[in-house]
Amino acid sequence: MTAHILVVEDDESFVEELKQIIADSGGPALPIFVTNRDDAVAKLESNFFDFAILDLKIPTALGTTDFDPEHGKYVFFHIRKVSPGTKILVLTGSPSDDFIAPLLVQKHDADIWSEGAKIDTIEFLKKIELDQAPEKISRVVSAIHALSDIELHTNGLNLSTGEDRLIRIFAKHFKADGLDGSRSRHLGAKM
């Protein structure tokens, strides 16, 4: 199971580091990198993401220099609106954390991928602590990859990535190791 990751970061040196961290995360991952608010919103409208890595101080559009944490906060709240189950790792390079307080209201613990333990749905990481990112990113990629243990027979039904993911999480939560579209009431048996 491939982890779909949205990375919103405008600093090329951090982009390169994040590309390497994701590549070394221990499982298949499909990262999409954008550098600004408008591109991030467009990707969120047209794609499914398991995980978002979000720099807050980004410009509104490609080629602009209006870097402001408000643009990152806009993307943050847009993720919560269109994809409320998506885990978010907020990256910040700013020494001032006063703009983070409104985001903390959104933070809660949940067993997002039915692993049997609650995790923070939102985490914060200062860019100077990027050495902690591999563990945080690998944990997400591993959780998504583990969903491939659930055998899913769609009987020709064309599911979106989000629908597929949701059904696998549901099956894992109820300790099924497979689901068959025609026999979905038999959750306990492999199908």
CATH code, 74: 3.40.50.2300
Least confident of 17-26, 107-116, 118-127: 107-116
The pLDDT, as a whole number, for residue 131 is 95
Same domain, 137 and 159: no
Model pLDDT, residue 105: 60
pLDDT digits (tens, 9 = 90+) for 84-98: 889 999 988 766 566
Same domain, 101 and 22: yes
Q: Is the pLDDT of residue 188 over 70?
A: no
Q: What is the dihedral of CA 155, 161, 163, 167, to 10 degrees?
A: 70
CA geometry: angle 98, 104, 105, nearest 5 deg: 120
A 10 A CB-CB count for 33 gives 17
Same domain flag for 83 and 18: yes
Residue 190 located in a structural domain: no
Domains of the chain: total: 2
Give the separation between CA 112 and CA 119, rounded to whole angstroms.
8
13: which residues sit within 8 A by CB, 6+ positions away? none
Contact 132, 125 (CB under 8 A): yes
110 and 132 housed in the same domain: yes
Encode pLDDT of 163-186 as tens digits.
Answer: 999 999 898 888 876 666 544 434
| pLDDT, mean of residues 10-38 | 96
Residue 191 within any structural domain of the chain: no
pLDDT tens digit string along 123-155? 888 899 999 999 999 999 999 999 998 888 888
Q: For residue 45, count other CB atoms closer than 10 A to its CB.
A: 9
Inside any domain, residue 188: no
User: Do 141 and 165 share a domain, yes or no?
Assistant: no
155 and 73 co-located in one domain = no
pLDDT beyond 90 at 52: yes
Q: Are residues 174 and 116 in the same domain?
A: no
Q: Domain limits at 120? A: 3-146
pTM for this structure? 0.86
